[in-house]
Amino acid sequence: MAAEKKASKMTVQQLKTPKGTRDWVGADMLLRDHIFNSILDVFKRHGGVSLDTPVFELKDVLSGKYGEDSKLIYDLADQGGELCALRYDLTVPFARWLGMSNTQSIKRYQIAKVYRRDQPAVTRGRMREFYQCDFDIAGVYDSMIPDAEILRITSEIFDVLKMDISIAINHRQILDGMFAVAGVPPEKVRTISSAVDKLDKAPWAEVKKEMVEGKGLSEEVADRIGEYVKHNGDLPTIIKFLKEDQALMANSDIKAGVEDMELLSSYLNAFRVGTKVVFDLALARGLDYYTGIIYEVKTNLAPEVDKKKTKGNDELSQVGSIAAGGRYDNLVGMYGKRQIPCVGISFGVDRIYTIMKARQETEGKARVREVDVYVMAFGGSGFTGLLLERMQIVSKLWEAGIRAEFQAKVKPKLPQQFKAAEDVPLGVILGEDELKNGEVRLKALNTGAAEEEKDRGQLVKLDDLVAEIKKLL
């Protein structure tokens, strides 16, 4: 509230949000908040600690962390003083914070906006300002226990959101060992790993072509990789497959990875999430810094969303992975003297939002606010409007924690009051005669306009009103 009367008047055509950003309001915000609150609930259930960092960091903190993508960082103007830039993700601020603090171990979560000067694709939900939602467990623990808890948290969150998911999982040491055994030269491991990462969207023939023609791998080596990466299934099955292959098990990375996966398998069963997890030898994940297990969550769109909403809407059917992460034991060491092992996951809340919004649209009109009761008045000739009485009664409801509104008019018309109460489930209706007896009428709203006029609801004593409303809500 600090603008001035003499301020320059803007023309309407200039009124927009910056490219790649948007306002959120009403029903959209309620849905987004519902998603955030569901996720936060689960984070807290697991002892998560909330971290909030500034929206901008010293430029030096971000420099050299994102490789080529650094060009997408938003810089602040040099107005004297420190050089700063908007945060690009939540992981670097978390690592910076860990580097500054004395914390040895933490389960930290953060839901916040991040910024990338990318080409926006608004309909597909790719924006320049968007939310990330991260949960990470940092600290030295016994092997695979925090890893299993991250997957348990993931499973709980999608249960709460009523989304059917599966979690693909792999292990960096198994993947790298497999490349070594297949005969990939060490300097080509990362680039071949990136090629395998595309198996998600491209057929094997295409990926093989990239390996052989694009990256100079021999056809024989590529075929050996092809044999391995086609295997996926539940953890015991793939673990068995790996253990029976003596060539693979002779590799120390693979041996260590398989031991991890055996432990993980028993922990996931104890946590009752084993059935949702698929061990997929083709899962590679792009980022370099993973050192242990990696995972990606996928959803099958609910049939009603699929049928009704995706015709002509390619974006929805391309939603792809809705959460992903892994173990990264060496990142924090870049920010200080200490190395702190971490495992974490990032939820793609924009993608989750897109799916849930489509589901909501198949279920009818969404509310823009969550009011439960509308207090209204009516009367014949000589109607005073009963404003003070409406104010007194609505105050009582507020004091009882009930969400309630009334029309801010001295003499409101009944149809206007019904219209304002369009998305409100209950009406309290004041009439002068009823009030003389210490009574009002309580009625369910939105039963149809004709019905509305006829049925004036049940008579309720003022003293019982709060209790009666709470019974109905």
Binding positions for L-histidine are 89-91, 116, 132, 136, 285, 289-290
Is residue 146 a contact point for a second copy (CB under 8 A)?
yes
Whole-number minimum distance, CB 430 to a second copy, in Å? 13
Asked if residues 324 and 297 have their Cβ atoms less than 8 Å apart, the reply is yes
Q: What is the spatial distance between Cα 162 and Cα 177, in angstroms, rounded to a whole number? A: 37
Taking Cα atoms as reference points, which of 428, 309, 310, 451 lies closest to residue 378?
428
Angstrom CA distances, 423 to 157, 183, 368, 381, 418, stand at: 29, 65, 8, 29, 10
Considering the rule CB under 8 A, would residue 450 count as an interface residue with a second copy? no
- Encoded one letter per residue, x for contact with a second copy by CB under 8 A and - for no contact, window 186-225 reads ----------------------------------------
Sequential DSSP letters for 224-267:
HHHHHHT-EE-HHHHHHHHHH-HHHHTSHHHHHHHHHHHHHHHH
Comparing CA positions, the residue from 35, 55, 44, 287 lying closest to residue 161 is 35
Question: Is residue 435 part of the contact set for a second copy (CB under 8 A)?
Answer: no
Rule CB under 8 A: is residue 3 a binding residue for a second copy?
Answer: yes
Calpha distance 357→309 (Å, rounded): 10
Residues of span 250-289 touching a second copy by CB under 8 A: 266-267, 270-272, 287-289
CA dist 96 and 7 (Å) reads: 41
Candidates 387, 414, 435, 466; binder of a second copy (CB under 8 A) is 387
Task: Choose, by CB under 8 A, the member of 1, 186, 246, 471 that binds a second copy.
Answer: 1
**Residue in 79, 102, 246, 381 binding a second copy, rule: CB under 8 A:** 79
36, 97, 204, 383: which one binds a second copy (CB under 8 A)? 97
Considering only residues 6-65, where is the footprint of a second copy by CB under 8 A? 6-10, 12, 14-19, 21-26, 29-30, 33, 41, 44-58, 60-61, 63-65
**Quick check: 138 binds a second copy (CB under 8 A)?**
no
Closest approach of Cβ 160 to a second copy, in Å?
10
- Tell me the window of 97-105, 309-317, 354-362, 433-441 that interacts with a second copy (CB under 8 A): 97-105
Q: Which residues are part of a known binding site?
A: 89-91, 116, 132, 136, 285, 289-290
Q: Cβ distance 170 to 284 under 8 Å?
A: yes
User: Residues 6 or more apart from 19 whose CB is under 8 A from it?
Assistant: 120, 128
Q: Which of 187, 303, 337, 448 contacts a second copy by CB under 8 A?
A: 337
d(CA 188, CA 180): 10
Q: Which of 411, 415, 445, 412 is nearest to 428 (CA)?
A: 445
**What is the CA angle 97-153-301, rounded to 5?**
115
CB of 62 to a second copy, least distance (A): 9
Distance spanning both ends of the chain, measured CA to CA: 37
- Among 249, 368, 435, 444, interactor with a second copy by CB under 8 A: 368
Q: Which of 307, 369, 419, 461 is in the footprint of a second copy by CB under 8 A?
A: 369
Find the binder of a second copy among 121, 122, 247, 410 (CB under 8 A): 410
How many residues sit in the footprint of a second copy (CB under 8 A)? 124
Question: Binding of a second copy at residue 463 (CB under 8 A)?
Answer: no
> How far apart (Å, rounded) are the C-alpha atoms in residues 251 and 337?
32
Of 38, 39, 91, 178, the one binding a second copy by CB under 8 A: 91
Question: Which residues 291-330 are close enough to bind a second copy by CB under 8 A?
Answer: 325, 328, 330
| C-alpha–C-alpha distance, residues 394 and 373, integer Å | 9
Q: Give me the half-sphere count of Cα atoms (radius 13 Å) on the Cβ side of residue 6.
A: 0
- Residue 297: CB minimum distance to a second copy, A: 14
Strands in 210-320 per DSSP E: 232-233, 277-280, 293-299
Shorter beta-carbon distance to a second copy: residue 120 or 257: 120
Q: Enter the tokens of residue 27.
A: 């029903």
Q: Supply 338's token pair.
A: 């200490």
Among 102, 244, 382, 408, binds a second copy (CB under 8 A): 408
CB of 258 to a second copy, least distance (A): 18
Distance CA 435, CA 428 (A): 12
Question: Which residue in 34, 36, 117, 457 binds a second copy (CB under 8 A)?
Answer: 117
CB nearer a second copy, residue 46 or residue 209:
46
CB atoms within 10 A of CB 401: 9
Nearer residue to a second copy within complex by CB, 141 or 241: 141
Cβ within 8 Å of residue 318, ≥6 positions away: 124
For the bound state, the minimum distance from the C-beta of residue 152 to a second copy, rounded and expressed in Å, comes to: 7
Short-list 84, 76, 39, 36, CA closest to 60: 84
The owner of tokens 């300002």 is: 129
Choose one: 146-154, 178-186, 210-218, 246-254; the region binding a second copy (CB under 8 A).
146-154
Least distance to a second copy, CB of residue 267, Å: 6
- Regarding 176 and contact with a second copy (CB under 8 A), the answer is no
According to CB under 8 A, which one of 111, 404, 429, 440 is a site residue for a second copy?
Answer: 404
